[in-house]
Amino acid sequence: MAPRSAAAPPGDSPAERPRIGVLGGTFDPIHVGHLAIAEAARQALDLERVLFLPAGEPPHKPGEVEASVADRVAMVEAAIAGHPGFELSRVDVDRDGPSYTADSMERILDAERAAGRDPDLYLIVSAETIAEIPGWHEPARLLAACQLAVVPRTGFPTPDRDWIEAAFPGQTDRIVLLGGPEIDVSSTAIRSRVEAGLDVGDLVPAAVERQIVDHGLYQSAVPSPEDPDPVTDSALAPRPDGLPRREKRAAADRASIDLARRIVELAEDKKAADIVLLDVSALTSLADHFVVCSGGSERQIQAIADGIVGGLRDDGIRPIGREGTATSHWVLVDYGDVIVHVFTPPERDFYSLEKHWAEAKTILRVQ
């Protein structure tokens, strides 16, 4: 992964000035994509070290961080243990107030200089993040403290020289573009999978998975008798015709059609395409309704599924199962009476659910 710069990077040679990379984030949780990016940047830029910088109070995500600071720090420590050249930085978590990146980079630089070193700092960011930096707190001060090392992100274009010059006038020499890796893993998807009881062993290091399990992170709270779980579950009851079926317990006395329509609303909010609501109650014991929709990319179908899960969680409704991943080009979320199918267009055409259920009593095309 050879680096290329919008212009030749300034500064002395690596032999004269050590280079340190900084990878920041909420790490809620840290995953294999973070580690792969850090190692690739370390090799490409000849970094002496990569500092993992968990955010304390990220100003751009107020109220959105689920795990505590202590749990997120513990997961980072577990993930990087045994990796030479990887270190934890507590610059953000050991202070009060919002974690502005410009402040953090200056504190890291001050600490290095106090220890008798004067390194070149590289903040490792994705192609998605660099597009947001012009709107960050004091971006000029950030670029004065460090250079930006930009890695690809699925679904987001790598910035070209013209865009960089327009976004950061006169500072193109502070941006270095790296060729990879491009790993489509997100902390949001991992949290959703944990909540749904699905395995995440291929998405996070084993030590992080143990932390999640041992500390009960991202898992649904056990409902009290006064506040029963409002989602239909997998308990089965016989139908008059002898076929098995789920026990019907619609969320908060909500009819399954109302739940399906709420799912349609959430899918629309995430810009899902070709949303179809199918009434299959007369044809199968699996569910009363299917909601089928499309996303134009792996990233979008993940965002659609996560948006539905998150929106219904806010309504007090949790899934009983989730299957598929963005890389499989389909995601299924099971709400008992209603099952959600999110596809990329080729996979949707391949499975042809609408054709299979052509005899359904109602087909309501929403988009």
∠ Cα 91 97 100 (to 5°): 60
Query: Residue 308 in contact with residue 271, Cβ under 8 Å?
Result: no
pLDDT tens column, 23-46: 999 999 999 999 999 999 999 999
Q: Where in the chain is the domain with CATH 3.40.50.620?
A: 4-188
Is cis: bond before 29, omega within 30 of 0? yes
Q: How far apart are CA 124 and CA 21, in angstroms?
A: 7
pLDDT tens, residue order, the chain (367 aa):
556 555 444 444 445 789 999 999 999 999 999 999 999 999 999 999 999 999 987 665 555 678 899 999 999 999 999 898 999 999 999 988 777 899 999 999 999 999 999 999 999 999 989 999 999 999 999 999 999 999 998 888 889 999 999 999 999 999 999 987 888 888 988 998 998 888 898 999 999 999 999 999 998 654 444 444 433 333 334 444 444 444 444 444 468 899 999 999 999 999 999 999 988 877 777 788 899 999 988 888 988 998 898 889 888 888 888 887 767 788 899 888 899 999 988 888 887 777 766 544 444 444 4
Which CATH superfamily, name and number, covers 4-188?
Answer: HUPs (3.40.50.620)
pTM above 0.85, yes or no: no
What angle in degrees, to the nearest 10, is found between the helix axes of 256-269 and 298-314?
130
Strand order in the sheet with 86-88: 4-5, 175-177, 147-151, 120-126, 19-25, 49-54, 86-88
Domain with CATH 3.30.460.10 in the chain: 225-365
pLDDT tens, position by position, 104-156: 999 999 999 999 999 999 999 999 899 999 999 999 999 999 999 999 988 88
Tell me the two tokens of residue 25: 């984030």
Distance (Å) of CA 123 to CA 101, 129, 165: 9, 11, 18
Q: What fold characterizes domain 225-365?
A: Beta Polymerase; domain 2 (3.30.460)
Indicate the SS3 state at residue 82.
coil
> Measured between alpha carbons, how far is 259 from 155 in angstroms, rounded to an integer?
30
Residue 353 is which amino acid? L
How many other C-beta atoms are found inside a 10 Å radius of the C-beta of residue 271? Answer: 14
> How many whole angstroms separate alpha carbon 58 and alpha carbon 60?
6
